[in-house]
Chains A and B, each alone.
Chain A
Amino acid sequence: DVKVTQSSRYLVKRTGEKVFLECVQDMDHENMFWYRQDPGLGLRLIYFSYDVKMKEKGDIPEGYSVSREKKERFSLILESASTNQTSMYLCASSLPDRVRQPQHFGDGTRLSIL
């Protein structure tokens, strides 16, 4: 089974801090994704990566950056955390066809910015 592991289930940070969320997958998937999930808004794509060092902005990339130095690891960075970034963050991975292949999700990180 595919395993997608996110480094923290819960995280509390202060405004202005630089925050790193880490995600690791063990199935050699080319695609990796970062989403945020807010009540009533569903899953919204922040960034997508289709290969090492390759990335593509999603629907809401403002205030975020990503890093993919190794195929199995995809990091989401909040450069200067703000309270409106309090949310559930979910990482996912998939085979190359991101539309016709299922995405495999991690358990999520519930991030609170105080």
Chain B
Amino acid sequence: KNEVEQSPQNLTAQEGEFITINCSYSVGISALHWLQQHPGGGIVSLFMLSSGKKKHGRLIATINIQEKHSSLHITASHPRDSAVYICGVGTSYDKVIFGPGTSLSVIP
């Protein structure tokens, strides 16, 4: 079993839909990161959180430490949100482990 798992692996949505991407992990964590990778490769850090919820524009990230689970929500999705979303767990043993990514395609 991988230490960091994401679901779904692939997701297609219509423009305007509410989207949820999930991340579950089996290790002790200090922080959790959400990253976005657009076609072509560049990766951008979206959020870092260790408890509760963070919001930036149409993006919301939540984490439940007890359940070892985090979600990334996108409200009013847009084709420019099409990207791979990567969850990274900052472990309590000073290492970041990344999930396999969720590929999102938003269709106009």
Contact = CB atoms under 8 A, between A and B. Distances in A.
A98 interface: yes
B94 A90 contact: no
Contacts of A99: 30-31, 90-91, 94-96
B100 A105 contact: no
Interface stretch (B40-48, B52-60, B62-70): B40-48
A85 to B, nearest CB: 17
A40 B100 CA distance: 5
Interface residues of A, number: 22
A67 interface: no
Contacts, number: 55
Name A's interface SS. loop
A42 B90 contact: no
Contacts of A88: 41
A90 B99 contact: no
Contacts of B42: 105-108
A54 to B, nearest CB: 15
Nearest to B40: A107
B25 interface: no
Given A40-B100, A42-B86, A42-B98, A100 B30 contact: yes
Nearest to B91: A99
A9 B43 CA distance: 14
Contact of B41 (A42, A90, A102): A90
Interface string B97-108: 011110000000
Nearest to B94: A99
The 6 closest A-B pairs by CB, nearest first: A108-B41, A99-B90, A102-B45, A105-B43, A43-B98, A42-B100
Interface of A: 9, 40-45, 88, 90, 92, 98-108, 110
16 contacts: A40-B100, A43-B86, A90-B43, A98-B94, A98-B95, A99-B30, A99-B90, A99-B94, A99-B95, A102-B33, A102-B48, A104-B45, A105-B35, A105-B44, A107-B42, A110-B41
